[in-house]
A and B are shown apart, each in its own frame.
Chain A
Amino acid sequence: MGRWLELSNEILFVYYLASNLIYLALLITAVWRNTWHRRRLAGLRLERLQVSPFTPPITLIVPAHNEEAFIVDSVRALSELYYPDLEIVVVNDGSRDNTLSRLKSAFQLRAARLLYLPQIATAQVRESYRSTIDPRLLVLDKEPAGSKADAINAGINVASSPYICVVDADSILEKESLLRIMAGVFSDSQSVVAAGGIVRVLNGCELSKGELHKVGLPRHSIEILQIIEYLRAFLIGREAWAYFNALPIISGAFGIFSTDLVREVNGFRPHAIGEDFDLVVRMHRRLHEQQKEYHIAFVPDPTCWTEVPSDLRSLARQRARWHKGLIDTLWPNRDMLCRRRYGRVGWVLLYMWVFEFMAPLVELIGYSTIILAAVLGMLSRQFFVLFLIFGYAFATLISIGSVLLEEMTYRRYSDWREVGRLLFFCLFEHFPYRQMTMLWRLQGIWQYLRGDLAWGEIKRMQTSTGAMQKQNATRSFTEQ
C-alpha cells in the first residue's frame, strides 16, 4: 500500500509539473506568435483581396438538422459575408421540423436537376434546390443518417470550389472572417491544406438578423468559465501547435479545407464522434505518408461565434462527448504515436494521449492517493498543501495569460468591467470547475467503454437582440 501510494504521488508530481511546463512553453510561443500576427495584419489590405480575381472560390457547407429557428437568418448572414466568390450549400439532414420549408419560402427555392456524384458515400440525397433570388445558394435535402459528418460529406460531393468551409447553422461568422482566413493561407509559402479560425462564445452577445450586434459577457458563471477555456484553447493551444505545424484539430464550427484533399481522405468519417479532430488527424497521416510538404494553419483573427451550453447538464453531456470523440480518434490512430514517419504530429498525439485523454484518470487517482496519504500521515501535510497551492496558482497564471493575450491582440471585450469579470473567473477555473470537467470526462470514458456513443441532446439558448430567450429546441449535432 505504502509503495503504491508513493509511486502514485511521484507520478502525479511529475505529471503535473510536466503539464504546467508544457503549457507555459505554449503560452510563451503563443504570445510571440499572436504579436507577430497582429503586426503582419498591419500591412494587409483585405479590400484588395475582396476585388482580386486570384482569390479562389470557397464553398460554405452548412449542415442543418432541425434548425428552423436559425436557418433563414443564418443563410442570409452567410450570403452577406465579404468574399468575392462564394457558393453556399445547405444540407438539410432529414429535419423533422420546418427547416426545408422555411428555406424554400425565404429563398424561393426551385428543384434543380443536379448531377450528384457521391464520391464520398452518403445517405441518399432526395432532392436538390437552387435559389432563384441568390444563384449561389444550393440546398440538398437528404435522408437522415444520424451524423453531422454524413451531411457535410453530401455537401463536399457537390462542392465546386477548391476550398470548403464547414459552418454550423447556429454559428455566426464575422463578415470579414473568410477574407481574413484566406489572407492567412495566401501569405504562407508552404501549401496550406487546411486552416482554422478562432471560435468564440456567443452567449451574452446581442444579435440582430443573424449578425453580431454587440459583444458581451453572459450572466452565468458556467458560461464565463467556458469563455476562458475557449480563449486558452484557441489563443494559446492552437496558435502554438500550428506554429510547429502539428495542429491536431480544426474546430468543426469554423475551418477551411482543401476540397481535393478532403475527398482524397474520404471526407468526414460518418460515425466519428469528434469528426473535426478525426479528419485533421487523417489529413496529417495521408500527407506524411505521401511525404508532401504542407501546412495546417491557425489564423487567430477570423472569428466564428458559437453558442456554448448554459446549464450544467448540457455541459456535462458535451464534455463527455468531446472526451469520447478524443478516444474515438486517438485509438484508431495509435500507430502514429512517436513514429518518425509522422513527424511532430506523432508527438502531439502523444501529448493528447497523456495530457488530454489520461488527464481525468491521472487527476482522479492523484487526488485520491494524495488525500489518502495525507490522512494516513504518510505525506508531509505541509508539502501536500503547498503542492496544491502551487498547482492552483500556476494554472491560474496560465488562464490569466490567455486573458492577457486577448487584451494584447483582439480585445473583443472592450468594457473594463467585462475584463475584470473574466479575470475574476480565472480564479475559479482550476477549482472547482476543473474538477467538475474531470468527472464529466471520466463519464465520457466510461460511456465509450460501454459502447454508448450517442450525441445526447442539449438545451439551446437563443441569443437575440437585447435578451436571452430560452427555448425548448434541442440540437442533435450542430454544436462545436
Chain B
Amino acid sequence: MDFASRLPTEFGLVGLIVEAILFSVAGIVTLIAFIAVRRWYRGRHFQRLSERTFALRSQWNDILSGTVPAASWRLKPLDCEIVESILLDRLELAALPEELPPLLNCLRNSGLLDMRIRQARAERGWKRRAALVTLGRTRAPEAVPALAEALRAEDEETRIAAVRGLGQTELAAAAIPVIENLLWGSRPIPDHIIKNALLNCCHNSPGILLRYLKESTGRARVLLARVLGELATPELGEDLILLATDSDAEVRASAARAMGNSLPAFALPVLSAMVTDSEWFVRLRAVVALGSINHSGRIRPLLRALCDANRHVRLRAAWVLAQLGSNLDDIFNQVVETRDNYAVQAFISELERSGAIEDLIKALEKRDGQNQAHQILLETLHATRHNIAHGVKFLSASAGAH
C-alpha cells in the first residue's frame, strides 16, 4: 500500500492529479462552449446565406447577362460562393447544349473560372481537391489541363479528385489524360473511379478507348475493355472482333458485352462462337448479349448455352429463352429435344418463375394433331405446377419417346 500513499508526498502525484482534473474540466467546458458557439455561428451563417441567396436569385438574369457587374458580387466571399453554387448546379442540370454558353461566359467573365484553375494548381490539401471537383463541374475545356496536372500529385486523394473532376467535365478531351495516366502513370487510382470517369467522358466517342486499347496490356487493357463494353456502338463492329479473340478472358467478356450493342447480323456469329468459350463468365456474357440482340438465329446458341456445364450460364440462358415470349411451345420442344435434364429443369423453373408456364400450357393445348409426346408434355407441365422435380423425370421419358 506504500505505493499510492508515498507517491503523493514524494512525487507530487496529488498535484499532478489535480492538474489532470483541471485539464479534464477545462476540456469539458471548452468542448461544450465550442458546441454552443458553433451552433450559434452556423445558425447565423445560414440565416445570412438564405437572405443573400434570396437577394441574388431575384436579380439572377441580370447577373448572368452581366447587367449587374460581376464586381458587385465577385469580391464578396458569401455572394461569390452563392453565385458559383447556382452556376454549377445549372451547368450540371443543363439539358440542352445552348444552355451552357451563357453560364460558362458568366464563370469566365467574372474570373471565377480563373480563380479555380489557380487554386487547382497552387493550393494544397482539401482546398486544392475542392477546386478540382469544382473545375470538373464547370465542364469548361480550359479546366482540363489543370485537372490533368493534378493526376501527377503525390497524394492519392488529390489524384482521385482530379479523376472525378475530369469525369464530370464529360469532355472527350478529358478522357485522354486519364487513359494516359492509367497506361503510363506510376501512381495508382482506384479502378472504379477511373471507369466511371471514362464512361462519362467517352460516351459520345468510344473510339478513343479502342485506340488506346490496342496498345495497352494487363490491368489497363481489362479496364479499358470493360468501359468499352458499356459504350460500344454498331460503328465499332469490326474492331470488336479483335477483342472477341483476345487472350485475356476479361477482355473477351467485355467484347461479348459490347457485341450486345452491335448490329444483330454482325454480332450473331461472333456471339454464337463465344457461347463455347473456355471461360464460363465469357459464355455468360455472350448469353446476356444474345438476349439483347433481336435476331431469330439466336435460339440455337441459346439452346447450346442452356446445356452448359456451368449453372450460371444455364440459368441465364433459360432466363433469356423464357423472355422471348412468342413461340414458347416451339422453343420448349427444342429444349426437350436436347435430352438434357438440367436444361429442361432450368427452362421449366424459369418459365414457372416468370409465370409464362400457363401460356406454354395453353399454347400446347391449342396445337392441332397432338401426338403422344405432346400429351406427355402437357401432363408433365400440369404436374410441374405441383412438383417440378417429379415433372422432370416425366420429361426425360417424353424426350426419349419424342
Is this pair of chains taken from one and the same complex? yes
A299 at the interface (CB under 8 A from B): no
Residues on B with C-beta less than 8 A from A292 are none
Stretch at the interface among A168-176, A243-251, A391-399, A464-472: A391-399
Q: Do A54 and B196 form a contact, CB below 8 Å, given A43-B130, A380-B5, A423-B35?
A: yes
A393 contacts which of B14, B28, B192 (Cβ < 8 Å)? B28
* Contact yes or no, B189 A189, CB < 8 A: yes
A6 contacts which of B1, B38, B157, B189 (Cβ < 8 Å)? B1
Least distance between B171 CB and chain A CB atoms (Å): 16
Least distance between A158 CB and chain B CB atoms (Å): 12
* Contact yes or no, A48 B35, CB < 8 A: no
Residues of B whose CB lies within 8 Å of any CB of A are 1-5, 7-8, 13-14, 17-18, 20-21, 24-25, 27-28, 31-32, 34-35, 38-39, 126, 129-130, 132-133, 156-157, 160-161, 164, 168, 188-190, 192-193, 195-196, 199-200, 226, 230, 311, 345, 348-349, 352-353, 355, 388-389
A sample of 4 more A-B contacts (CB under 8 A), given A112-B349, A397-B24, is: A52-B199, A386-B21, A397-B27, A419-B39
Residues on B with C-beta less than 8 A from A126 are none
Residues on A with C-beta less than 8 A from B126 are 39
Residues on A with C-beta less than 8 A from B13 are 383
A404 contacts which of B24, B34, B161 (Cβ < 8 Å)? B34
Least distance between B257 CB and chain A CB atoms (Å): 9
A383 contacts which of B5, B24, B199 (Cβ < 8 Å)? B5
Residues on B with C-beta less than 8 A from A113 are 345, 348-349, 352-353, 388-389
* Contact yes or no, B18 A386, CB < 8 A: yes
A407 at the interface (CB under 8 A from B): yes
Name the CB-closest residue of B to A43.
B133
Q: Do A393 and B230 form a contact, CB below 8 Å, given A189-B188, A382-B14?
A: no
Name the CB-closest residue of B to A49.
B196
* Contact yes or no, A10 B4, CB < 8 A: yes
B8 contacts which of A6, A39, A187, A380 (Cβ < 8 Å)? A380
Least distance between B58 CB and chain A CB atoms (Å): 28
Name the CB-closest residue of B to A130.
B353
Least distance between B241 CB and chain A CB atoms (Å): 23
* Contact yes or no, A2 B1, CB < 8 A: yes
Question: Which chain A residues in 388-421 approach chain B with CB under 8 Å?
Answer: 389-390, 393-394, 396-397, 400-401, 403-404, 407-408, 416, 419
Q: Do A383 and B352 form a contact, CB below 8 Å, given A43-B129, A54-B199, A189-B156?
A: no
* Contact yes or no, B353 A423, CB < 8 A: no
Name the CB-closest residue of B to A117.
B311
Q: Do A115 and B311 form a contact, CB below 8 Å, given A189-B190, A423-B32?
A: yes
B24 contacts which of A378, A380, A393 (Cβ < 8 Å)? A393
* Among A2, A43, A379, A387: residue with most chain B CB under 10 A: A43
* Contact yes or no, A404 B35, CB < 8 A: yes
In the complex, A379→B1 CA distance in Å?
7
A407 contacts which of B38, B129, B388 (Cβ < 8 Å)? B38
* Contact yes or no, A42 B31, CB < 8 A: no
* Among B27, B129, B133, B168: residue with most chain A CB under 10 A: B27
Return 8 A-B CB contacts under 8 Å, by A number.
Answer: A6-B1, A40-B157, A390-B21, A393-B21, A393-B28, A394-B24, A419-B39, A423-B32
Residues of A whose CB lies within 8 Å of any CB of B are 2-3, 5-6, 9-10, 13, 39-40, 42-43, 45, 48-49, 52-54, 110, 112-115, 130, 132, 186-189, 373, 378-380, 382-383, 386-387, 389-390, 393-394, 396-397, 400-401, 403-404, 407-408, 416, 419, 423
* Contact yes or no, A43 B24, CB < 8 A: no
* Contact yes or no, A112 B4, CB < 8 A: no
* Contact yes or no, A403 B190, CB < 8 A: no
Least distance between B106 CB and chain A CB atoms (Å): 22
Least distance between B331 CB and chain A CB atoms (Å): 18
Residues on A with C-beta less than 8 A from B132 are 43
In the complex, A393→B24 CA distance in Å?
6
In the complex, A419→B43 CA distance in Å?
15
Residues on B with C-beta less than 8 A from A419 are 35, 39
Least distance between A63 CB and chain B CB atoms (Å): 23
Q: Do A379 and B31 form a contact, CB below 8 Å, given A45-B168, A386-B17?
A: no
Name the CB-closest residue of A to B355.
A132
Least distance between B43 CB and chain A CB atoms (Å): 9
Q: Do A6 and B2 form a contact, CB below 8 Å, given A43-B130, A383-B14, A390-B20?
A: yes
Residues on B with C-beta less than 8 A from A397 are 24, 27-28, 31
Residues on A with C-beta less than 8 A from B38 are 407-408
Q: Do A416 and B39 form a contact, CB below 8 Å, given A52-B196, A386-B14?
A: yes
Least distance between A354 CB and chain B CB atoms (Å): 21
* Contact yes or no, A378 B1, CB < 8 A: yes
Name the CB-closest residue of B to A7.
B3
Q: Do A43 and B161 form a contact, CB below 8 Å, given A52-B196, A383-B13?
A: yes
Residues on B with C-beta less than 8 A from A389 are 21
* Contact yes or no, A42 B8, CB < 8 A: no
Q: Please name the 7 residue pairs, one residue from A and one from B, whose CB atoms are nearest each other, closest first.
A: A393-B24, A186-B192, A43-B133, A378-B1, A113-B349, A6-B1, A113-B388
Residues on B with C-beta less than 8 A from A112 are 349, 352-353
In the complex, A373→B27 CA distance in Å?
31
Q: Do A13 and B4 form a contact, CB below 8 Å, given A53-B199, A400-B32, A407-B38?
A: yes
Residues on B with C-beta less than 8 A from A54 are 192, 195-196, 199, 226, 230
In the complex, A164→B383 CA distance in Å?
35
Residues on A with C-beta less than 8 A from B39 are 407, 416, 419
Residues on B with C-beta less than 8 A from A49 are 196
Q: Do A48 and B196 form a contact, CB below 8 Å, given A394-B20, A400-B28?
A: yes
Least distance between B196 CB and chain A CB atoms (Å): 5
Residues on A with C-beta less than 8 A from B32 are 400, 423
Residues on B with C-beta less than 8 A from A188 are 190
Least distance between B293 CB and chain A CB atoms (Å): 18
Q: Do A6 and B3 form a contact, CB below 8 Å, given A386-B18, A403-B35?
A: yes
Least distance between B187 CB and chain A CB atoms (Å): 10
Residues on B with C-beta less than 8 A from A40 are 157
Least distance between B396 CB and chain A CB atoms (Å): 16
Least distance between A70 CB and chain B CB atoms (Å): 27
Name the CB-closest residue of A to B197.
A48
* Contact yes or no, A378 B5, CB < 8 A: yes
Residues on A with C-beta less than 8 A from B189 are 189
Residues on A with C-beta less than 8 A from B2 are 6
In the complex, A182→B314 CA distance in Å?
30
Residues on A with C-beta less than 8 A from B21 are 386, 389-390, 393
Least distance between B22 CB and chain A CB atoms (Å): 9
In the complex, A382→B21 CA distance in Å?
13
Residues on A with C-beta less than 8 A from B311 are 115
In the complex, A378→B348 CA distance in Å?
84
Least distance between A414 CB and chain B CB atoms (Å): 10
Q: Do A396 and B355 form a contact, CB below 8 Å, given A45-B168, A383-B8?
A: no
In the complex, A113→B130 CA distance in Å?
52
Name the CB-closest residue of B to A394.
B24
In the complex, A404→B29 CA distance in Å?
12
Residues on B with C-beta less than 8 A from A390 are 17, 20-21, 24
* Contact yes or no, A9 B190, CB < 8 A: no
Least distance between A381 CB and chain B CB atoms (Å): 10
In the complex, A387→B4 CA distance in Å?
11
Residues on A with C-beta less than 8 A from B34 are 404
